[in-house]
């Protein structure tokens, strides 16, 4: 009897918390629905699936008939369900107590809604740190899947990676399956005969009867990635693949659990802190990423990369916190609220509080690569919606001081917190003396949720002025990793890094940034004084009910122009729902340039926000409003994304005092 290889085939389905309903509907129609329908026709094709918790809830609510297919496949033992954290957090970057809570929440959900409690778990972005082992093991998870690259980094030869291995931490054991990188790139991009030939070659070369071909990757490759819907469904790749696997005398499909129960471990292994190989580059700052990419390219030219790539390693996932201040700030705010929530007596901890805590831990908004969502305002907004709502709930049970200071994000710069139950202003006590977070609790919104432009490694691929270019594979179709395309025309000015944070109330005299020194806080009043101006300028930040007031006092009159820059996260961005209202008329939307003179009041109205901001000044000013865009790369190509509405207020220093007020109102 010829040798057979066990195909352990798994797919991971995920949509970020807060994603647009139109995106979810499209993903379902082009991917989740046709995938399940095709697999349902082949009961003998066994496979594993992981739907992230928020997506699973959405699909069950909106597309119950397709989820019924999934439950039927579970009941007839065609499908093995994989667990994870409920909101798809990176387990390594949340507290252990929350790891356990997230995993248990999702495992219980799978049992209740689909009838199976998982033994295996999907690791978000395959981010591995040994510290996650105890939580997984304590929740009944017996095995997880990581890339074969993880094992290569531990010194394991690829020839051994056709089964599972064991590891341990703090007295807990966990088994690890290595996902084949070759299969990740072949499925579904290579022609079916080529993929089947590769799988059968594994059977031919197997040294024993228990070799496994291990595949587990994003289901979105089956319909959502460019060209894949036509390739996978209209041209029949998926159906041909399943039929060819089932017809092969050298391939059999198994669940991970079946293989795990029937085969022995290949031995002990200790993996380094690592994610999948593409993440090595994404986690690095631009200059370091350029160096890394050059080394990789040299290795490929000299034909030694494939054999030694495990020893040419870039950064780790947590580098995103040190690379992007905005990501780090969100993360540390989340950790702080986790501590406050878990400090509450159990009787005061509500289900809604826990839900909002877990939503604030959803991974997508914390990182950036070809897929990460840090550059997408609506994903960051979902995290901040949860943070702001949770903070209000905690404040109702555990009062905070109305004004206090701490270094929240561990950057060596103290922040001052000013809140009154309606609004909260968090001020960086550095030279800029600007507001880095501005929360409206009734709206559950952070108006300071913006993103500065910084240099990205992939900018060197951009040819300014080009609009569309794509690279195609010689056979099959191109993976998103191999494409260069443009959703928008990109100009040289679009990729210039910012020289200041995109905060609220960044001040200039002429074109020179004003440097401030923090003064001891008075009650509900944060006070700064300039240090680089001929005459002192005093800046006071205070809250009054639903109004944020910033008062500027000038000790001398002169002809220079004073200006302040206010970067506001308006949810509608450059869409139809965001507009200016001035003197009863609509002069334009947030995506347009607007310049007005002698202004003392303007309304910023936003349908998505379900509220508005009334900006008033005590002295007539020149108002300049324009969109702030950043350039990023996604699987769809290079694109410009509006991150904030940037407002610049200018006036000559001919008055001794000017007050700028942001009044926040809800339409409900």
Give the residue numbers annotated as catalytic, written as ranges. Answer: 125, 218
> Whole-angstrom Cα distance, residue 105 to residue 92?
17
> Whole-angstrom Cα distance, residue 389 to residue 21?
21
With contact defined as beta carbons under 8 Å apart, do 567 and 628 qualify?
A: yes
DSSP state of 354: H
> Whole-angstrom Cα distance, residue 644 to residue 75?
48
Q: Which two tokens stand for residue 107?
A: 């495992």
- Say what angle helices 351-359 and 325-343 make with each other, to 10 degrees: 160
> Whole-angstrom Cα distance, residue 627 to residue 61?
36
With contact defined as beta carbons under 8 Å apart, do 255 and 119 qualify?
A: no
Q: What is the 3-state secondary structure (H, E, C) of 134-183?
A: HHHHHCCCCEEEEEHHHHHHCCCCHHHCCCCEEEEECCEEEEEEEECHHH
- Say what angle helices 96-114 and 53-62 make with each other, to 10 degrees: 30
With contact defined as beta carbons under 8 Å apart, do 75 and 115 qualify?
A: yes
CA distances from 633 to 370, 372, 484, 487, 490 (A): 6, 10, 9, 9, 11
Strand partners, 514: none
Going by C-alpha positions, the residue among 423, 461, 658, 417 that lies closest to residue 561 is 658
* Number of Cα atoms under 13 Å in the Cβ half of residue 530: 20
How many Cβ atoms from other residues are within 10 Å of residue 648's Cβ? 18
DSSP for 508-544 reads EETTEEPPEEEPPPBTTBEEEEESSSSS-EEEEEEEE
> Whole-angstrom Cα distance, residue 419 to residue 400?
9
DSSP state of 246: H
- Say what angle helices 351-359 and 377-397 make with each other, to 10 degrees: 150
With contact defined as beta carbons under 8 Å apart, do 660 and 602 qualify?
A: no
Check the CA dihedral 313-318-320-321 and report its sign. negative
602 torsion bin: left (phi>0), alpha (psi -120 to 50), beta (else): beta
CA distances from 26 to 68, 223, 372, 498, 575 (A): 19, 10, 19, 35, 20
> Whole-angstrom Cα distance, residue 261 to residue 516?
65
Q: Which two tokens stand for residue 86?
A: 């409920």
Going by C-alpha positions, the residue among 178, 91, 93, 180 that lies closest to residue 137 is 91
Q: Which two tokens stand for residue 575?
A: 């869409």
Place of tokens 């006036």: 651
127 torsion bin: left (phi>0), alpha (psi -120 to 50), beta (else): beta
At 197, give phi and psi (nearest 5°). -60, -40
Q: Is the peptide bond before 188 cis (omega within 30 degrees of 0)?
A: yes
């Amino acid at each position: 009897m010829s040798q057979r290889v066990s195909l352990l085939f798994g797919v991971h389905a995920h949509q970020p918390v807060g994603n647009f309903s139109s995106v979810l509907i499209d993903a379902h129609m082009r991917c989740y629905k046709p995938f399940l329908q095709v697999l349902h026709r082949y009961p003998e094709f066994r496979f594993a699936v992981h739907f992230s918790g928020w997506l699973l809830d959405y699909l069950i609510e909106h597309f119950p008939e397709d989820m019924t297919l999934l439950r039927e496949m579970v009941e007839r033992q065609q499908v093995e369900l994989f667990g994870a954290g409920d909101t798809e957090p990176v387990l390594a970057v949340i507290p252990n107590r929350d790891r356990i809570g997230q995993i248990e929440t999702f495992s219980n959900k799978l049992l209740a809604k689909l009838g199976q409690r998982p033994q295996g778990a999907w690791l978000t972005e395959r981010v591995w740190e040994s510290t996650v082992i105890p939580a997984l093991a304590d929740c009944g998870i017996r095995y997880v899947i990581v890339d074969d690259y993880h094992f290569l980094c531990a010194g394991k030869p690829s020839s051994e990676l056709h089964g599972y291995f064991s590891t341990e931490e703090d007295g807990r054991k966990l088994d690890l399956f290595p996902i084949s990188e070759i299969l990740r790139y072949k499925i579904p991009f290579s022609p079916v005969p080529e993929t089947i030939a590769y799988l059968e070659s594994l059977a031919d070369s197997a040294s024993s009867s228990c070799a496994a071909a291990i595949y587990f990757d994003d289901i979105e490759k089956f319909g959502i990635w460019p060209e894949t819907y036509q390739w996978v469904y209209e041209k029949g790749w998926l159906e041909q693949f399943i039929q060819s696997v089932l017809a092969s005398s050298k391939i059999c499909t198994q669940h991970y659990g079946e293989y795990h129960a029937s085969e022995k471990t290949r031995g002990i292994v200790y993996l380094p802190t690592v994610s999948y190989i593409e993440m090595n580059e994404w986690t690095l700052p631009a200059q370091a990423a350029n160096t890394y990419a050059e080394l990789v390219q040299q290795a490929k030219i000299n034909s030694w990369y494939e054999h030694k790539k495990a020893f040419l390693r870039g950064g780790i996932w947590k580098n995103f916190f040190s690379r992007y201040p905005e990501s780090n700030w969100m993360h540390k705010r989340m950790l702080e609220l986790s501590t406050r929530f878990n400090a509450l007596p159990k009787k005061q901890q509500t289900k809604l509080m826990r839900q909002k805590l877990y939503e604030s831990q959803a991974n997508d908004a914390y990182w950036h690569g070809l897929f990460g969502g840090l550059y997408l305002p609506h994903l960051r907004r979902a995290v901040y919606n949860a943070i702001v709502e949770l903070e209000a709930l905690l404040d109702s049970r555990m009062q905070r001081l109305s004004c206090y200071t701490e270094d929240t994000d561990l950057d060596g710069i103290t922040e001052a917190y000013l809140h009154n139950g309606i609004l909260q202003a968090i001020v960086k006590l550095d030279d800029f003396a600007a507001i880095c977070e501005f929360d409206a609790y009734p709206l559950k919104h952070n108006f300071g949720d913006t993103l500065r432009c910084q240099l990205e490694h992939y900018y060197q691929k951009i040819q300014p002025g080009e609009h569309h270019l794509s690279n195609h594979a010689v056979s099959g179709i191109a993976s998103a990793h191999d494409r260069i395309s443009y959703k928008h025309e990109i100009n040289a000015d679009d990729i210039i890094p910012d020289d200041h944070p995109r905060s609220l109330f960044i001040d200039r005299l002429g074109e020179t940034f004003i440097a401030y020194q923090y003064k001891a806080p008075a009650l509900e009043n944060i006070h700064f004084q300039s240090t680089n101006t001929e005459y002192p300028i005093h800046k006071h930040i205070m809250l009054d009910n639903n109004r944020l007031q910033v008062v500027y006092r000038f000790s001398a009159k002169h002809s220079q122009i004073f200006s302040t820059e206010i970067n506001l996260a308006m949810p509608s961005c450059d869409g139809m729902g965001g507009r200016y209202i001035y003197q009863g008329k609509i002069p334009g939307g947030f995506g347009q340039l607007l310049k007005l003179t002698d202004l003392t009041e303007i309304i910023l109205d936003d349908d998505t926000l379900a509220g508005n901001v009334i900006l008033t000044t005590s002295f007539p000013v020149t108002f300049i409003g324009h969109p702030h865009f950043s350039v990023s790369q996604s699987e769809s190509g290079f694109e410009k994304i509006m991150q904030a509405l940037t407002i610049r207020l200018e006036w000559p220093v001919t008055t001794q005092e000017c007050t700028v007020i942001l009044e926040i109102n809800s339409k409900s």
